[in-house]
Amino acid sequence: MTGKQKAAMLLMSLDAVTAAELLKGLPPEEIRDIGTELAQLDTSNEQNNKNNINIAREFCESLQSTQTKTFGIKSFFSETLVHAVGQDKASQIQSQIIKATEQKNPFMAIRSASIDELVLALEGEHKQTIAVVLSELDPQKSQDVLSLLGEKSRLEAVCKMTSIGTLGQEVKHRIATTVCQRLKAFKGETLPVKQEQSLRKLAVMLSGLEKNLRTQMLDEIKKQDKKTSEMIKHLMVAWEDITSIADRSLQEALRSVESATLALALFGADEETAQKIRSNISERAAATLEEEMSLMQEPLEAEILKAREEVVNPLREANEKDELRFVQRK
């Protein structure tokens, strides 16, 4: 570990004011070099491979929980650097830092891009390019991007990721440069709203109407597009609506749901929804539910979604009969 790397790690553990005081005695060139190391530490996925990096970052996190103004790469640009050298010089150094870090770590800009920007930039790209980018992201972000890519791109990229280790750094850097150029074209862009999202808003609006008027509206939509009409009916009640359903309505619906299904549906559910369901089943049913959950192995996401649909179906049936009551729709 170089002295500048150690200096960067030290600054990351200090509050912005103290860091600024330490930097005041350094020439701008050294501040720029330390800033480059800070940016590298802030975005690199390779820091786990360096001695003491994990320990240093844990120490930084413990400081962040007790200090109100801690030091990080953003505060380095917005506070510390300005205090040390002034606004004009800080802007110049910032540009130099960005250029230097991009040369040293071409994946920095890719890791900091939004999920929507990455999906837009990667869609239609070669499978090797997608695979390399996914391998450079943290696991959660990689999973989010992968889930939003087209099915063909998804399958090809996953298969290609098994051989990423055979690629040299030069090839990876060329790929990073290409993707960074594409990302500039999609800066600030977001993915189009899916039809289901827009129809959900319409469905919630229609569900609040009196039954005869709601039926009339759905019939009109059905004349134009039967599939869309059915989707709207389906979206009138969703899993996230459970906390907004009146207790009596929910109790009636839950009586027809088996404990094993309810246990699956509640796996990973938010506390508010889980508590709403538990408070609307009998003590005996609650005890059975807890036993089912204690014996259950971690299910697949598809199994959870299927179970939640089975919980919601009797609510949809009650809604069609105009027997479902809401307390306050979210």
Q: What would the pLDDT profile of 202-228 be if each residue is shown by its tens digit?
A: 888 888 788 888 889 899 999 988 988
Distance CA 255, CA 278 (A): 12
- pLDDT tens per residue across span 133-152: 998 888 889 888 988 888 88
Cα gap 85→210, rounded to integer Å? 66
| Ranges 46-60, 100-114, 222-236: which has the least confidence | 46-60
| Tens-place pLDDT, residues 255-286 | 999 999 999 999 989 999 999 999 999 999 99
Confidence of residue 11 (pLDDT cuts 50, 70, 90): low
Who contacts 106 (Cβ-Cβ below 8 Å, separation ≥6)? Answer: 173, 176, 177, 180
Question: Would you say domain 195-320 falls under CATH 1.10.220.30?
Answer: yes
Least confident of 66-70, 158-162, 182-186, 235-239: 66-70
- 8 A C-beta contact, residue 131 and residue 175: no
Q: Residues 27-53, buried b or exposed e (16+ Cβ, 10 A)?
A: ebeebbbbbbbbbbbbbbeebeeeeeb
Task: Assess whether pLDDT exceeds 60 at residue 66.
Answer: no
The tokens describing 213, both together, are 């008027």
Angle at 265 between CA 259 and CA 266, to 5 degrees: 90
- Report the top-level CATH class of 110-185: mainly alpha
Residue 243 above 90 pLDDT? yes
In Å, what is the CA distance from 53 to each residue of 48, 136, 195? 6, 18, 45
Q: Does this chain's domain 110-185 share its CATH topology with 195-320?
A: yes
pLDDT, residue 1, reads: 58
Give the sign of the dihedral formed by CA 223, CA 227, CA 232, CA 234.
positive
Q: Both ends of the chain: CA-CA distance in Å?
A: 53
Q: What is the pLDDT of residue 71?
A: 44
pLDDT digits (tens, 9 = 90+) for 76-106: 555 566 666 677 776 776 666 666 655 666 7
Q: Is the CB of residue 118 less than 8 Å from the CB of residue 110?
A: yes
Domain boundaries in the chain? 3-105, 110-185, 195-320
CA angle centred on 273, ends 268 and 279, rounded to 5°: 120
Element (H, E) at 173: helix 169-185
Residues with Cβ within 8 Å of 222's Cβ and at least 6 positions away in sequence, in order, are 229
Cβ-contact 31, 81 below 8 angstroms: yes
Confidence of residue 37 (pLDDT cuts 50, 70, 90): confident
